[in-house]
Structure 1
Amino acid sequence: MSPTPYGQRPLDTPLDTPFAALHRRPGVPLLLPNAWDHASAAVLAEQGFAAIGTTSLGVAAAAGLPDGEAATRDETLRLAGRLGRSGRYLLSVDAESGFSDDPDEVAAFAVELAEAGVVGINLEDGRPDGTLTPTAVHAAKITAIKAAAPALFVNARTDTHWLALSDPVEETDRRLAAYQLAGADGLFVPGLTDLAAIRRLCGSLALPLNILHAPTGPTLLELAALGVARVSLGSYLYRTALAAAVSTALAVRAGTPGPAAPTDAPAYATVQALYADGR
Protein backbone atom coordinates (compact mmCIF):
# COMPACT_ATOMS: atom_id res chain seq x y z
CA MET A 1 0.00 0.00 0.00
CA SER A 2 1.27 3.42 -0.90
CA PRO A 3 -1.17 6.01 0.48
CA THR A 4 -1.53 9.42 -1.05
CA PRO A 5 -0.35 12.24 1.24
CA TYR A 6 -3.68 13.85 2.02
CA GLY A 7 -7.35 14.10 1.25
CA GLN A 8 -8.82 10.61 1.28
CA ARG A 9 -12.29 12.15 1.69
CA PRO A 10 -13.55 15.71 1.17
CA LEU A 11 -14.16 17.50 4.46
CA ASP A 12 -17.74 18.25 3.44
CA THR A 13 -18.50 14.52 3.09
CA PRO A 14 -18.53 13.14 6.65
CA LEU A 15 -18.26 9.45 7.37
CA ASP A 16 -21.69 7.83 7.23
CA THR A 17 -21.74 5.22 10.01
CA PRO A 18 -23.78 4.89 13.22
CA PHE A 19 -20.69 5.71 15.29
CA ALA A 20 -19.88 8.79 13.23
CA ALA A 21 -23.50 9.94 13.57
CA LEU A 22 -23.08 10.04 17.37
CA HIS A 23 -20.60 12.89 16.79
CA ARG A 24 -23.14 14.98 14.88
CA ARG A 25 -25.75 15.81 17.53
CA PRO A 26 -25.49 19.55 18.26
CA GLY A 27 -25.68 20.19 21.97
CA VAL A 28 -25.49 16.47 22.80
CA PRO A 29 -21.87 15.34 22.80
CA LEU A 30 -21.03 11.66 22.74
CA LEU A 31 -19.91 10.77 26.27
CA LEU A 32 -17.46 7.93 25.73
CA PRO A 33 -16.57 5.89 28.83
CA ASN A 34 -13.38 3.88 28.51
CA ALA A 35 -13.21 0.23 29.57
CA TRP A 36 -10.18 -1.98 30.16
CA ASP A 37 -11.69 -5.49 30.10
CA HIS A 38 -14.87 -7.39 29.34
CA ALA A 39 -16.51 -6.78 32.72
CA SER A 40 -15.97 -3.02 32.72
CA ALA A 41 -17.37 -2.76 29.18
CA ALA A 42 -20.35 -4.97 30.04
CA VAL A 43 -21.42 -2.99 33.11
CA LEU A 44 -21.12 0.27 31.19
CA ALA A 45 -23.25 -1.16 28.40
CA GLU A 46 -25.88 -2.11 30.99
CA GLN A 47 -26.15 1.58 31.86
CA GLY A 48 -27.13 2.44 28.31
CA PHE A 49 -23.89 3.73 26.81
CA ALA A 50 -24.27 3.24 23.07
CA ALA A 51 -20.53 3.45 22.46
CA ILE A 52 -17.60 2.45 24.63
CA GLY A 53 -13.91 3.11 24.19
CA THR A 54 -10.88 1.36 25.60
CA THR A 55 -8.23 3.02 27.72
CA SER A 56 -4.66 2.25 26.72
CA LEU A 57 -3.45 2.89 30.27
CA GLY A 58 -5.99 0.49 31.74
CA VAL A 59 -5.27 -2.21 29.16
CA ALA A 60 -1.53 -1.84 29.69
CA ALA A 61 -1.61 -1.67 33.48
CA ALA A 62 -3.96 -4.65 33.75
CA ALA A 63 -1.43 -6.67 31.75
CA GLY A 64 1.59 -5.36 33.67
CA LEU A 65 2.88 -3.43 30.67
CA PRO A 66 3.81 0.25 30.13
CA ASP A 67 1.39 2.56 28.36
CA GLY A 68 2.40 4.60 25.33
CA GLU A 69 5.50 2.54 24.51
CA ALA A 70 4.04 0.27 21.80
CA ALA A 71 4.10 -2.68 24.21
CA THR A 72 0.42 -3.58 24.13
CA ARG A 73 -0.33 -4.30 20.49
CA ASP A 74 -1.28 -7.92 21.16
CA GLU A 75 -3.23 -7.07 24.32
CA THR A 76 -5.13 -4.35 22.48
CA LEU A 77 -6.04 -6.65 19.60
CA ARG A 78 -7.02 -9.46 21.96
CA LEU A 79 -9.37 -7.18 23.88
CA ALA A 80 -10.81 -5.78 20.67
CA GLY A 81 -11.61 -9.30 19.55
CA ARG A 82 -13.40 -9.98 22.82
CA LEU A 83 -15.40 -6.76 22.87
CA GLY A 84 -15.89 -5.86 19.24
CA ARG A 85 -18.64 -8.33 18.46
CA SER A 86 -20.78 -7.97 21.57
CA GLY A 87 -23.56 -6.34 19.55
CA ARG A 88 -24.57 -4.31 22.60
CA TYR A 89 -22.42 -1.26 21.93
CA LEU A 90 -20.13 0.35 19.39
CA LEU A 91 -16.45 -0.08 20.22
CA SER A 92 -13.67 2.45 19.71
CA VAL A 93 -10.11 1.39 20.52
CA ASP A 94 -7.28 3.50 21.91
CA ALA A 95 -4.37 2.33 19.77
CA GLU A 96 -1.68 4.64 21.20
CA SER A 97 0.37 5.79 18.18
CA GLY A 98 -0.55 2.74 16.12
CA PHE A 99 2.33 0.67 17.55
CA SER A 100 4.58 1.71 14.67
CA ASP A 101 5.77 4.71 12.69
CA ASP A 102 5.35 2.78 9.45
CA PRO A 103 2.00 3.86 7.92
CA ASP A 104 1.53 0.48 6.25
CA GLU A 105 2.00 -1.37 9.54
CA VAL A 106 -0.41 0.96 11.32
CA ALA A 107 -2.98 0.50 8.55
CA ALA A 108 -2.62 -3.28 8.74
CA PHE A 109 -3.29 -3.14 12.48
CA ALA A 110 -6.34 -0.95 11.86
CA VAL A 111 -7.67 -3.51 9.41
CA GLU A 112 -7.29 -6.22 12.08
CA LEU A 113 -9.28 -4.04 14.48
CA ALA A 114 -12.02 -3.42 11.93
CA GLU A 115 -12.24 -7.16 11.22
CA ALA A 116 -12.69 -7.69 14.97
CA GLY A 117 -15.75 -5.43 14.95
CA VAL A 118 -14.14 -2.16 16.02
CA VAL A 119 -15.77 0.98 14.57
CA GLY A 120 -13.32 3.65 15.74
CA ILE A 121 -9.64 4.10 16.49
CA ASN A 122 -7.90 6.70 18.60
CA LEU A 123 -4.44 7.58 17.23
CA GLU A 124 -2.09 9.80 19.22
CA ASP A 125 0.98 11.78 18.17
CA GLY A 126 2.65 11.81 21.59
CA ARG A 127 5.79 9.75 22.10
CA PRO A 128 7.16 8.05 25.25
CA ASP A 129 10.10 10.48 25.41
CA GLY A 130 7.76 13.47 25.70
CA THR A 131 8.11 14.62 22.11
CA LEU A 132 5.60 14.67 19.29
CA THR A 133 5.61 12.45 16.23
CA PRO A 134 6.49 14.57 13.17
CA THR A 135 3.27 15.94 11.71
CA ALA A 136 3.86 14.39 8.30
CA VAL A 137 4.41 10.94 9.82
CA HIS A 138 1.22 11.07 11.87
CA ALA A 139 -0.74 12.41 8.91
CA ALA A 140 0.58 9.57 6.75
CA LYS A 141 -0.68 7.05 9.30
CA ILE A 142 -4.15 8.60 9.20
CA THR A 143 -4.24 8.54 5.41
CA ALA A 144 -3.06 4.94 5.31
CA ILE A 145 -5.75 3.84 7.76
CA LYS A 146 -8.49 5.54 5.78
CA ALA A 147 -7.26 3.95 2.57
CA ALA A 148 -7.20 0.47 4.13
CA ALA A 149 -10.29 0.69 6.38
CA PRO A 150 -12.42 3.59 5.11
CA ALA A 151 -15.37 2.84 7.43
CA LEU A 152 -13.19 3.08 10.55
CA PHE A 153 -13.67 6.38 12.43
CA VAL A 154 -10.19 7.84 12.93
CA ASN A 155 -9.97 10.12 15.93
CA ALA A 156 -6.66 11.96 15.48
CA ARG A 157 -5.20 13.02 18.80
CA THR A 158 -2.55 15.64 19.38
CA ASP A 159 -0.77 15.86 22.72
CA THR A 160 0.32 19.47 22.32
CA HIS A 161 -1.51 20.57 25.48
CA TRP A 162 0.05 17.81 27.55
CA LEU A 163 3.60 18.82 26.70
CA ALA A 164 5.54 21.87 27.83
CA LEU A 165 5.43 23.65 24.48
CA SER A 166 6.23 27.33 24.29
CA ASP A 167 3.20 27.93 22.06
CA PRO A 168 0.78 24.98 22.17
CA VAL A 169 -1.95 27.00 20.44
CA GLU A 170 -0.02 27.52 17.21
CA GLU A 171 1.27 23.94 17.15
CA THR A 172 -2.19 22.57 17.88
CA ASP A 173 -3.74 24.54 15.04
CA ARG A 174 -1.05 23.43 12.63
CA ARG A 175 -1.36 19.77 13.52
CA LEU A 176 -5.15 19.68 13.53
CA ALA A 177 -5.22 21.29 10.09
CA ALA A 178 -2.82 18.62 8.78
CA TYR A 179 -4.80 15.78 10.35
CA GLN A 180 -8.02 17.12 8.84
CA LEU A 181 -6.43 17.11 5.40
CA ALA A 182 -5.03 13.63 5.98
CA GLY A 183 -8.55 12.24 6.23
CA ALA A 184 -9.28 12.12 9.97
CA ASP A 185 -12.91 11.86 11.03
CA GLY A 186 -12.50 13.54 14.40
CA LEU A 187 -9.88 15.53 16.32
CA PHE A 188 -8.86 15.02 19.94
CA VAL A 189 -7.00 17.54 22.13
CA PRO A 190 -6.54 16.04 25.62
CA GLY A 191 -5.38 18.44 28.28
CA LEU A 192 -7.26 21.38 26.80
CA THR A 193 -9.62 22.81 29.44
CA ASP A 194 -9.76 26.54 28.70
CA LEU A 195 -13.32 27.43 27.70
CA ALA A 196 -12.38 30.20 25.28
CA ALA A 197 -9.82 28.00 23.52
CA ILE A 198 -12.29 25.14 23.20
CA ARG A 199 -14.96 27.49 21.82
CA ARG A 200 -12.51 28.82 19.25
CA LEU A 201 -11.60 25.35 18.04
CA CYS A 202 -15.23 24.25 17.83
CA GLY A 203 -15.93 27.27 15.65
CA SER A 204 -12.95 26.82 13.36
CA LEU A 205 -12.70 23.07 12.80
CA ALA A 206 -14.52 21.22 10.05
CA LEU A 207 -14.43 17.99 12.10
CA PRO A 208 -15.92 16.96 15.47
CA LEU A 209 -13.82 18.00 18.45
CA ASN A 210 -13.10 15.51 21.24
CA ILE A 211 -12.17 16.79 24.70
CA LEU A 212 -10.92 14.67 27.60
CA HIS A 213 -12.99 14.97 30.76
CA ALA A 214 -11.09 16.58 33.63
CA PRO A 215 -12.51 16.35 37.17
CA THR A 216 -11.60 20.00 37.76
CA GLY A 217 -12.30 21.14 34.22
CA PRO A 218 -15.45 22.07 32.31
CA THR A 219 -18.54 19.96 32.94
CA LEU A 220 -20.27 17.92 30.27
CA LEU A 221 -22.98 20.58 30.02
CA GLU A 222 -20.41 23.35 29.61
CA LEU A 223 -18.61 21.42 26.88
CA ALA A 224 -21.91 20.72 25.12
CA ALA A 225 -22.73 24.43 25.11
CA LEU A 226 -19.36 25.17 23.49
CA GLY A 227 -20.02 22.75 20.64
CA VAL A 228 -17.80 19.85 21.70
CA ALA A 229 -18.89 16.69 19.86
CA ARG A 230 -17.29 14.04 22.03
CA VAL A 231 -16.13 13.83 25.65
CA SER A 232 -13.89 10.90 26.62
CA LEU A 233 -13.24 9.65 30.13
CA GLY A 234 -9.86 8.17 29.21
CA SER A 235 -8.16 6.36 32.09
CA TYR A 236 -10.31 8.12 34.71
CA LEU A 237 -12.63 5.17 35.37
CA TYR A 238 -9.74 2.73 35.64
CA ARG A 239 -7.87 4.96 38.06
CA THR A 240 -10.94 5.55 40.21
CA ALA A 241 -11.56 1.79 40.27
CA LEU A 242 -8.03 1.28 41.61
CA ALA A 243 -8.60 3.99 44.20
CA ALA A 244 -11.88 2.39 45.29
CA ALA A 245 -10.22 -1.00 45.65
CA VAL A 246 -7.42 0.38 47.81
CA SER A 247 -9.64 2.59 49.97
CA THR A 248 -12.07 -0.29 50.55
CA ALA A 249 -9.27 -2.66 51.58
CA LEU A 250 -7.86 -0.04 53.95
CA ALA A 251 -11.29 0.62 55.45
CA VAL A 252 -11.84 -3.08 56.11
CA ARG A 253 -8.36 -3.37 57.63
CA ALA A 254 -9.07 -0.40 59.88
CA GLY A 255 -12.45 -1.79 60.89
CA THR A 256 -14.17 1.40 59.85
CA PRO A 257 -16.37 0.87 56.78
CA GLY A 258 -17.05 4.58 56.49
CA PRO A 259 -17.61 6.23 53.12
CA ALA A 260 -14.74 4.28 51.57
CA ALA A 261 -16.61 0.96 51.73
CA PRO A 262 -19.09 0.84 48.84
CA THR A 263 -22.61 -0.37 49.62
CA ASP A 264 -23.61 -0.74 45.97
CA ALA A 265 -20.95 -3.23 44.90
CA PRO A 266 -22.48 -5.80 42.54
CA ALA A 267 -23.16 -9.23 43.96
CA TYR A 268 -21.02 -12.21 42.99
CA ALA A 269 -23.83 -13.67 40.90
CA THR A 270 -24.27 -10.38 39.06
CA VAL A 271 -20.62 -10.26 38.04
CA GLN A 272 -20.56 -13.97 37.24
CA ALA A 273 -23.47 -13.45 34.84
CA LEU A 274 -21.43 -10.97 32.81
CA TYR A 275 -19.47 -13.81 31.23
CA ALA A 276 -22.42 -14.58 28.96
CA ASP A 277 -21.73 -11.40 26.97
CA GLY A 278 -18.16 -12.47 26.35
CA ARG A 279 -18.82 -15.89 24.85
Structure 2
Amino acid sequence: MTAFAALHRPGEPLLLPNAWDHASAVALAARGFPAIGTTSLGVAAAAGLPDGAAATRGETLRLAPTLGAEPFLLSVDAEGGFSDDPDEVGELARELWAVGAAGINLEDGNGPSDRHAAKIAAVKSAAPGLFVNARADTYWRGEGEGTLPRLDAYRQAGADGVFVPGLTDPRGITELVRHLDVPLNILYSPAGPTVAHLADLGVSRVSLGSLLYRRALGAALDAMADIRGGRAPHGTVPSYDDVQALVRRPRRPD
Protein backbone atom coordinates (compact mmCIF):
# COMPACT_ATOMS: atom_id res chain seq x y z
CA MET A 1 0.00 0.00 0.00
CA THR A 2 1.34 3.42 -0.92
CA ALA A 3 1.53 6.29 1.57
CA PHE A 4 -1.28 8.05 -0.29
CA ALA A 5 -3.53 4.99 -0.27
CA ALA A 6 -2.94 4.61 3.47
CA LEU A 7 -4.51 8.03 4.08
CA HIS A 8 -7.89 6.67 2.90
CA ARG A 9 -9.44 5.29 6.09
CA PRO A 10 -13.17 4.64 6.57
CA GLY A 11 -14.37 6.69 9.50
CA GLU A 12 -11.20 8.80 9.46
CA PRO A 13 -11.31 10.28 5.97
CA LEU A 14 -8.58 12.08 4.11
CA LEU A 15 -9.66 15.72 3.90
CA LEU A 16 -8.23 16.73 0.54
CA PRO A 17 -8.04 20.46 -0.29
CA ASN A 18 -7.78 21.24 -3.98
CA ALA A 19 -5.29 23.84 -5.20
CA TRP A 20 -4.92 25.58 -8.56
CA ASP A 21 -1.30 26.74 -8.53
CA HIS A 22 1.95 26.38 -6.62
CA ALA A 23 1.23 29.06 -4.02
CA SER A 24 -2.22 27.74 -3.11
CA ALA A 25 -0.91 24.18 -2.84
CA VAL A 26 2.08 25.05 -0.66
CA ALA A 27 0.04 27.37 1.57
CA LEU A 28 -2.51 24.61 2.19
CA ALA A 29 0.19 22.03 2.86
CA ALA A 30 1.75 24.42 5.38
CA ARG A 31 -1.49 24.23 7.37
CA GLY A 32 -0.86 20.54 7.97
CA PHE A 33 -2.62 18.81 5.09
CA PRO A 34 -0.48 15.81 4.08
CA ALA A 35 -1.97 15.57 0.60
CA ILE A 36 -3.14 18.18 -1.88
CA GLY A 37 -5.30 17.69 -4.95
CA THR A 38 -5.63 19.96 -7.94
CA THR A 39 -8.92 21.36 -9.19
CA SER A 40 -9.45 21.14 -12.94
CA LEU A 41 -11.76 24.17 -12.87
CA GLY A 42 -9.16 26.30 -11.10
CA VAL A 43 -6.31 25.20 -13.36
CA ALA A 44 -8.45 25.78 -16.46
CA ALA A 45 -9.88 29.12 -15.37
CA ALA A 46 -6.46 30.46 -14.39
CA ALA A 47 -5.31 29.73 -17.95
CA GLY A 48 -8.44 31.19 -19.56
CA LEU A 49 -9.61 27.77 -20.75
CA PRO A 50 -12.87 25.84 -20.26
CA ASP A 51 -13.08 23.04 -17.72
CA GLY A 52 -14.18 19.57 -18.75
CA ALA A 53 -13.32 20.12 -22.40
CA ALA A 54 -9.97 18.25 -22.51
CA ALA A 55 -8.28 21.62 -23.09
CA THR A 56 -5.81 21.69 -20.21
CA ARG A 57 -3.56 18.68 -20.68
CA GLY A 58 -0.58 20.97 -21.22
CA GLU A 59 -1.37 23.15 -18.21
CA THR A 60 -1.83 20.07 -16.03
CA LEU A 61 1.48 18.57 -17.11
CA ARG A 62 3.26 21.88 -16.54
CA LEU A 63 1.88 22.25 -13.01
CA ALA A 64 2.39 18.64 -11.92
CA PRO A 65 6.23 18.67 -11.81
CA THR A 66 6.20 21.84 -9.70
CA LEU A 67 3.80 20.36 -7.16
CA GLY A 68 5.20 16.84 -7.41
CA ALA A 69 8.58 18.10 -6.21
CA GLU A 70 7.06 19.36 -2.95
CA PRO A 71 6.98 17.21 0.22
CA PHE A 72 3.20 16.75 0.26
CA LEU A 73 1.43 13.96 -1.62
CA LEU A 74 -0.15 15.11 -4.86
CA SER A 75 -3.35 13.94 -6.55
CA VAL A 76 -4.01 15.36 -10.01
CA ASP A 77 -7.47 16.11 -11.34
CA ALA A 78 -7.13 15.05 -14.97
CA GLU A 79 -10.78 15.45 -16.06
CA GLY A 80 -11.44 12.36 -18.24
CA GLY A 81 -7.77 11.90 -19.01
CA PHE A 82 -7.91 14.52 -21.81
CA SER A 83 -8.57 11.79 -24.34
CA ASP A 84 -10.96 8.95 -25.19
CA ASP A 85 -7.99 6.78 -26.19
CA PRO A 86 -7.04 4.57 -23.22
CA ASP A 87 -3.42 4.37 -24.40
CA GLU A 88 -3.14 8.17 -24.39
CA VAL A 89 -4.62 8.32 -20.90
CA GLY A 90 -2.15 5.66 -19.80
CA GLU A 91 0.71 7.75 -21.17
CA LEU A 92 -0.58 10.77 -19.26
CA ALA A 93 -0.57 8.69 -16.08
CA ARG A 94 2.98 7.55 -16.76
CA GLU A 95 4.10 11.16 -17.10
CA LEU A 96 2.33 12.22 -13.91
CA TRP A 97 3.84 9.34 -11.95
CA ALA A 98 7.30 10.20 -13.26
CA VAL A 99 7.11 13.75 -11.88
CA GLY A 100 5.94 12.72 -8.42
CA ALA A 101 2.14 12.50 -8.50
CA ALA A 102 0.69 9.97 -6.07
CA GLY A 103 -2.85 9.90 -7.43
CA ILE A 104 -5.05 10.77 -10.37
CA ASN A 105 -8.74 11.64 -10.49
CA LEU A 106 -10.55 10.47 -13.63
CA GLU A 107 -14.16 11.46 -14.35
CA ASP A 108 -16.53 9.55 -16.60
CA GLY A 109 -18.76 12.49 -17.54
CA ASN A 110 -21.63 9.99 -17.35
CA GLY A 111 -20.39 8.58 -20.66
CA PRO A 112 -19.96 4.89 -21.53
CA SER A 113 -18.76 3.02 -18.46
CA ASP A 114 -16.79 0.50 -20.55
CA ARG A 115 -14.76 3.31 -22.09
CA HIS A 116 -13.95 4.72 -18.66
CA ALA A 117 -13.08 1.26 -17.35
CA ALA A 118 -10.65 0.85 -20.25
CA LYS A 119 -8.97 4.13 -19.30
CA ILE A 120 -8.61 2.98 -15.70
CA ALA A 121 -7.09 -0.33 -16.77
CA ALA A 122 -4.65 1.52 -19.04
CA VAL A 123 -3.58 3.81 -16.18
CA LYS A 124 -2.98 0.90 -13.81
CA SER A 125 -0.95 -0.86 -16.49
CA ALA A 126 1.16 2.23 -17.23
CA ALA A 127 1.63 3.42 -13.63
CA PRO A 128 0.67 0.65 -11.17
CA GLY A 129 1.57 2.74 -8.11
CA LEU A 130 -0.66 5.67 -9.05
CA PHE A 131 -3.83 5.80 -6.95
CA VAL A 132 -6.77 5.92 -9.36
CA ASN A 133 -9.81 7.72 -8.00
CA ALA A 134 -12.57 6.82 -10.48
CA ARG A 135 -15.35 9.38 -10.61
CA ALA A 136 -18.91 8.53 -11.59
CA ASP A 137 -20.89 11.60 -12.62
CA THR A 138 -24.33 10.04 -12.29
CA TYR A 139 -25.36 12.44 -9.51
CA TRP A 140 -23.78 15.44 -11.24
CA ARG A 141 -25.66 14.85 -14.47
CA GLY A 142 -28.72 12.89 -13.35
CA GLU A 143 -30.41 11.32 -10.38
CA GLY A 144 -27.83 8.70 -9.53
CA GLU A 145 -29.36 5.93 -11.63
CA GLY A 146 -26.75 3.35 -12.62
CA THR A 147 -24.19 4.44 -10.05
CA LEU A 148 -23.47 1.01 -8.54
CA PRO A 149 -22.89 -0.81 -11.85
CA ARG A 150 -20.46 1.92 -12.88
CA LEU A 151 -18.55 1.77 -9.61
CA ASP A 152 -18.35 -2.01 -9.82
CA ALA A 153 -16.99 -1.81 -13.37
CA TYR A 154 -14.38 0.74 -12.35
CA ARG A 155 -13.30 -1.31 -9.36
CA GLN A 156 -12.97 -4.41 -11.53
CA ALA A 157 -10.84 -2.39 -13.95
CA GLY A 158 -8.41 -1.59 -11.14
CA ALA A 159 -9.63 1.63 -9.53
CA ASP A 160 -8.18 2.12 -6.06
CA GLY A 161 -11.06 4.31 -4.94
CA VAL A 162 -14.30 5.72 -6.30
CA PHE A 163 -15.75 9.21 -6.26
CA VAL A 164 -19.42 10.18 -6.45
CA PRO A 165 -19.70 13.99 -6.48
CA GLY A 166 -23.16 15.42 -5.97
CA LEU A 167 -24.22 12.69 -3.56
CA THR A 168 -25.08 14.30 -0.22
CA ASP A 169 -27.88 12.08 1.09
CA PRO A 170 -26.60 10.22 4.18
CA ARG A 171 -28.68 7.14 3.40
CA GLY A 172 -27.30 6.92 -0.13
CA ILE A 173 -23.75 7.38 1.13
CA THR A 174 -24.22 4.63 3.71
CA GLU A 175 -25.53 2.24 1.06
CA LEU A 176 -22.48 2.82 -1.12
CA VAL A 177 -20.07 2.36 1.79
CA ARG A 178 -21.70 -0.97 2.65
CA HIS A 179 -21.54 -2.14 -0.95
CA LEU A 180 -17.99 -1.10 -1.80
CA ASP A 181 -14.71 -2.79 -0.94
CA VAL A 182 -12.67 0.30 -1.93
CA PRO A 183 -12.53 3.80 -0.42
CA LEU A 184 -15.46 6.10 -1.15
CA ASN A 185 -14.72 9.75 -1.93
CA ILE A 186 -17.47 12.32 -1.38
CA LEU A 187 -17.35 15.96 -2.49
CA TYR A 188 -17.86 18.32 0.42
CA SER A 189 -20.88 20.59 0.07
CA PRO A 190 -21.60 23.46 2.48
CA ALA A 191 -25.26 22.39 2.30
CA GLY A 192 -24.48 18.70 2.88
CA PRO A 193 -23.13 16.62 5.75
CA THR A 194 -20.20 17.95 7.74
CA VAL A 195 -16.83 16.24 7.54
CA ALA A 196 -17.50 14.67 10.96
CA HIS A 197 -20.83 13.32 9.74
CA LEU A 198 -19.22 11.92 6.58
CA ALA A 199 -16.65 10.22 8.79
CA ASP A 200 -19.43 8.63 10.83
CA LEU A 201 -20.97 7.34 7.58
CA GLY A 202 -17.74 5.53 6.72
CA VAL A 203 -16.45 7.82 3.98
CA SER A 204 -12.70 7.47 3.30
CA ARG A 205 -11.98 10.72 1.47
CA VAL A 206 -13.59 14.15 1.39
CA SER A 207 -12.58 16.42 -1.48
CA LEU A 208 -13.15 20.15 -1.79
CA GLY A 209 -13.15 20.28 -5.60
CA SER A 210 -13.30 23.83 -6.93
CA LEU A 211 -14.78 25.30 -3.74
CA LEU A 212 -11.57 26.93 -2.49
CA TYR A 213 -10.81 28.47 -5.88
CA ARG A 214 -14.32 29.87 -6.13
CA ARG A 215 -14.14 31.16 -2.56
CA ALA A 216 -10.80 32.86 -3.32
CA LEU A 217 -12.30 34.51 -6.39
CA GLY A 218 -15.33 35.55 -4.38
CA ALA A 219 -13.09 36.98 -1.65
CA ALA A 220 -11.31 39.15 -4.22
CA LEU A 221 -14.61 40.47 -5.54
CA ASP A 222 -15.89 41.13 -2.01
CA ALA A 223 -12.69 42.96 -1.10
CA MET A 224 -13.00 45.23 -4.12
CA ALA A 225 -16.65 45.93 -3.32
CA ASP A 226 -15.66 46.92 0.23
CA ILE A 227 -12.81 49.14 -0.95
CA ARG A 228 -14.99 50.86 -3.53
CA GLY A 229 -17.64 51.37 -0.87
CA GLY A 230 -15.21 52.98 1.55
CA ARG A 231 -14.97 49.98 3.85
CA ALA A 232 -11.90 48.08 4.98
CA PRO A 233 -11.96 44.55 3.53
CA HIS A 234 -12.22 41.66 5.97
CA GLY A 235 -10.67 38.22 5.94
CA THR A 236 -7.18 36.76 6.04
CA VAL A 237 -4.60 38.62 3.97
CA PRO A 238 -1.15 37.01 3.77
CA SER A 239 1.64 39.55 3.64
CA TYR A 240 3.93 40.04 0.66
CA ASP A 241 6.69 38.25 2.54
CA ASP A 242 4.32 35.39 3.43
CA VAL A 243 3.62 34.79 -0.25
CA GLN A 244 7.27 35.14 -1.22
CA ALA A 245 8.14 32.50 1.37
CA LEU A 246 6.00 29.99 -0.54
CA VAL A 247 8.20 30.22 -3.64
CA ARG A 248 10.77 27.52 -4.30
CA ARG A 249 14.11 29.26 -4.65
CA PRO A 250 16.25 28.13 -7.59
CA ARG A 251 19.51 26.53 -6.60
CA ARG A 252 22.62 28.52 -7.30
CA PRO A 253 25.04 26.83 -9.66
CA ASP A 254 27.97 25.18 -7.89
Question: Which TM-score applies when normalising by structure 1?
Answer: 0.88
Work out the CA distance in 2 between the residues paired with 1:276 and 1:202. Answer: 40
Contact (CA 8 Å) 2:185, 2:204: kept in 1 or not? yes
8 A contact 2:86–2:122 mirrored in 1: yes
Is the 2:103–2:132 Cα contact (8 Å) retained in structure 1? yes
Question: Which residue is equivalent to 1:214?
Answer: 189
1:133 matched to 2:150: no
Per the alignment, in what secondary structure is the counterpart of residue 165 of structure 2? coil
- Which one-letter code corresponds to 2:5 in the other structure? A
The structure 1 residue matched to 2:38, chosen from 50, 54, 61, is 54
C-alpha separation in 1, matches of 2:60 and 2:234? 30
What SS does the aligned partner of 1:274 have? coil
1:11-67: CA deviation from partner (whole Å, max 9, x where unpaired): xxxxx10000001x3421000000000000011011000000000000000000000
One-letter identity of the residue aligned with 1:276: R
Task: Report the Cα distance in structure 1 between the residues aligned to 2:184 and 2:250, rounded to whole angstroms.
Answer: 32
d(CA) in 2 for partners of 1:84 and 1:203? 34
The answer to whether the 8 A contact 2:10-2:183 is kept is: no
**Aligned match for 1:204, one of 167, 174, 179:** 179
Q: Does 1:243 align with 2:243?
A: no
Aligned to 1:7: none
In structure 2, the residue corresponding to 1:275 is in which secondary structure?
A: coil
Amino acid at match of 1:44: L
Alignment of 1:51-90 (within 5 A): 51-87=35-71, 89-90=72-73
Structure 2 residue 249 is matched with structure 1 residue 264:
no
Matched, 1:114 2:114: no
Aligned counterpart, 1:13:
none
Given residue 49 of structure 1, which amino acid in structure 2 is its aligned partner? F
Structure 2 counterpart SS, 1:240: helix
Aligned to 1:53, the other structure's residue is in SS state strand
Match of 1:5 in 2: none
- What's the % identity of the aligned pairs? 63
Equivalent position of 1:143 in the other structure: 121
> Hey, what's the Cα distance between the residues in 2 that align with 1:57 and 1:277?
28
How far apart are 1:256 and its partner, in Å? 1.6
CA distance in 2, matches of 1:179, 1:136: 9
Among 71, 89, 103, the alignment partner of 2:86 is: 103
| Correspondence for 1:175 | 150
Cα deviation code 1:142-186 (max 9, x no counterpart):
001001100000000010001135xx24x1011001001000000
Structure 1's consecutive aligned runs of 4 or more residues displaced over 4 angstroms after TM superposition are none
Residue 256 to residue 217, structure 1, CA distance change in 2 (3 Å): same
Give the Cα–Cα distance (whole angstroms) in 2 for the partners of residues 19 and 223 of structure 1: 20
* Counterpart mapping for 1:21-36 below 5 A: 21-23=6-8, 25-36=9-20
Tell me the distance in 2 between the aligned counterparts of 1:278 and 1:58.
Answer: 26
CA distance in 2, matches of 1:109, 1:62: 21
- Residue identity in the other structure for 1:189: V
Pairwise CA distance, 1:277: 6.5
Q: Any unmatched runs of 5+ in structure 1? A: 1-15, 127-131
1:264 positional shift: 2.8
Number of positions where the alignment pairs a residue of Structure 1 with one of Structure 2: 251
User: Residue type of the partner of 2:60?
Assistant: T
Amino acid at match of 1:248: A
Amino acid at match of 1:200: E
**Partners of 1:70 and 1:276 in 2: how far apart?**
29
TM-score (norm 2): 0.96
Partner secondary structure for residue 245 of structure 2: helix
In structure 1, the partner of 2:136 is 158
User: Cα deviations across residues 233-259 of structure 1 (Å, max 9, x unaligned)?
Assistant: 0000000000000000110011022xx
Q: State the distance in 1 between where 2:53 and 2:65 align.
A: 21
Structure 2 unpaired stretches of 5+ = none
Which residue number in structure 2 is paired with residue 19 of structure 1? 4
